[in-house]
Amino acid sequence: MPILRLGFELAARCFPAQEVGGDFYDWQLLEAGCLNFTLGDVMGKGMPAALLMTTVRATLRALGAQYTPATRIDAAQALLASDLGGSESFVTLFHAQLNCRDRQLSYIDAGHGLVLLKRANGEIKPLLKGGIPMGILPEQNYQSGNILFEQNDALLVFSDGLPEVFPDAIKRPEVFTSLLQGTTSATDILNRMFRLVPANTALLDDLTVLVLYCR
């Protein structure tokens, strides 16, 4: 079910490649009209990836009402250093905090890179500001990017399971222009995104999509 918050709609869906996957998404409603949300992908599959995913998600939730997105990810990486080092794994993620009242989004892209901004006029462009995955360099400090939303703008975040079945998602993001023309909600965009997955496709990797829409 989509989340509605002060003029915004957030919707997400995940199809795991195995019964237990390493992709995750989460959102957290905060006071003062703010909303945190995350889409992450843990390297690996099966139970080890799922356990690390659960730990990352719980840590971000525990830090949810504190810090800015950048300092929150810095703090999470410090707290998770032993988990990430012990598993010899890493996590790519997109983490953001939305102030619904002034339509400002502050975000961190930790090695994820699979994010598109759709403007109301139909323009679609990738977000280029990012850093390295969590767990690669424990001392890494992340820098945030910022977006000001206007009515009918949308943010699309997806895991690498989508470009594996639809390579143009990375190579030619402009293909989304016609696909998403006339969309009026996060749920509508989400449904159209999953039309890109051929019927009866056996997924080799988890496929997760999250959409934020400014109403």
Residue 57's pLDDT is 94
Q: Helix (H, G, I), strand (E, B), or coil: what is residue 76?
A: helix
Length of the chain, please?
A: 215
For the chain, the domains span 3-214
* CA-only gyration radius of the chain, Å: 16
pTM (two decimals): 0.93
Residue 49's pLDDT is 79
Q: What are the residues whose beta carbons fall under 8 Å from the beta carbon of 170, sequence distance 6 or more?
A: 114, 163
Residues of the chain falling short of pLDDT 50: none
Cα–Cα distances (Å) from 57 to 143, 148, 195, in that order, read: 20, 26, 28
Residue 95's pLDDT is 98
CATH class of 3-214: alpha beta
Residue 210's pLDDT is 98
Encode 137-176 in three state secondary structure.
CCCCCCCCEEEECCCCCEEEEECCHHHHHCCHHHHCHHHH
Residue 173's pLDDT is 77
Q: What are phi and psi of 147, to 5 degrees?
A: -135, 135
Residue 48's pLDDT is 81
Task: For residue range 162-199, list pLDDT tens digits in order.
Answer: 888 888 777 787 788 888 999 999 999 999 998 888 77
What kind and span of H or E run contains 191? helix 186-194
* DSSP single-letter state for residue 58: H
